[in-house]
Amino acid sequence: MAENLPEISSEPIVAGVTAHSNFLVSTGATGTKFLSELRDNKKIMGIKCPKCSKVYVPPRTHCPTCFARMSEWVELSGKGSLSSYTVVRYKEPYMPKEPPYAYGVIQMDGADTGMAHILGEVDLDKIKVGMRLEPVFKEQREGSILDIDYFKPSS
């Protein structure tokens, strides 16, 4: 019965548990192609659905609308427009940059999807939805989405 709940006799004893694990993420044949083009040629590639012709970047293997397997690659300029953004002003582990910094979703020219990345070389108070952006690549590239250092306003 709820009215007969036991009374705790001392300071509650709460045990600690430590768990730490490292994980891997396979990017697969499609992701590997995209990332190696970034690394080797500083190219941003999209992939096109054979049924509905939508272009996805970052790429995936199946069209979310048609469940068709995609294999036609399309080279993009890398330029695009900012569709939404946020400025990060707090700090927690695993962040890719020291705050404050901005995350943006970029609508790439020639693609039908948005791509998440970091905004750089920009006054954080003057970011505007719709502003034109272009990628800045790192000098040392290792086959990572962070081989694009950030997107900056394009002239």
Partner 1 sequence: MAERIAIVGVGQTHHKSKRPDVTTAEMIAESVERCLEDAGLQMKDVDHLVGGSFEVADGYHCPDKWIIPELGAVGKAGLELQNVGTTGGVLAVASFNIAATGLFDTVLCYSWQKMDEAAGAFGRGGGGANEYWTGQFPMSPITNFARRTYAYMDRSGCTEEHIAMVRVKQDQCALKNPYAQLRLGLTVEQVMSDVLLAWPIRRLHMCPTTAGAAAFIVCPEERAKKVTDKPVWVEDWFTCHQGGALTMAEDPTSSTLRHACEVVYKRQNIKNPVKEIQAWEVYEPASPAELRWMEEVGICEDYTAWKLFEQDKVGIDKEVPFNPSGGVTATNPIGATPVVRLVEAALQVRGDAGEHQIPGKIERALATGYGGQGENVIMLLRKTL
Q: Which residues bind partner 1 (CB under 8 A)?
A: 15, 17, 19-31, 60-68
Q: Is 45 exposed, middle or buried (0-12, 13-18, 19+ CB in 10 A)?
A: buried
Burial class (CB in 10 A: 0-12, 13-18, 19+), 91: exposed
**Residue 52 binding: pick among partner 1, Zn ion, none (C-beta 5-8 Å cut-off by kind):** Zn ion
Q: Please identify, using beta-carbon distances, which residue of 63 and 102 lies nearer to Zn ion.
A: 63
Instruction: Name beta bridge partners: 133.
Output: 80, 153
Residue 52 or 129: the one with the smaller Cβ distance to Zn ion is 52
Binding flag, residue 111, Zn ion (CB under 5 A): no
47 or 133: CB nearest partner 1: 47
Q: CA 126 to CA 120: how far, in whole Å? A: 12
Question: Which of Zn ion, partner 1, none lies near 4, with the C-beta cut-off 5 to 8 A by kind?
Answer: none
Name which of 63 and 133 has its Cβ closer to Zn ion.
Answer: 63
Amino acid residing at 40: D
Report helix, strand and coil shares of the chain as percent, to nearest 5.
15, 30, 55
Report what 49 binds from partner 1, Zn ion, none; CB cut-off 5-8 Å by kind: Zn ion
- Subset of 45-74 contacting Zn ion (CB under 5 A): 49, 51-52, 63, 65-66
What SS3 class is residue 51? coil
Residues in touch with Zn ion (CB under 5 A): 49, 51-52, 63, 65-66
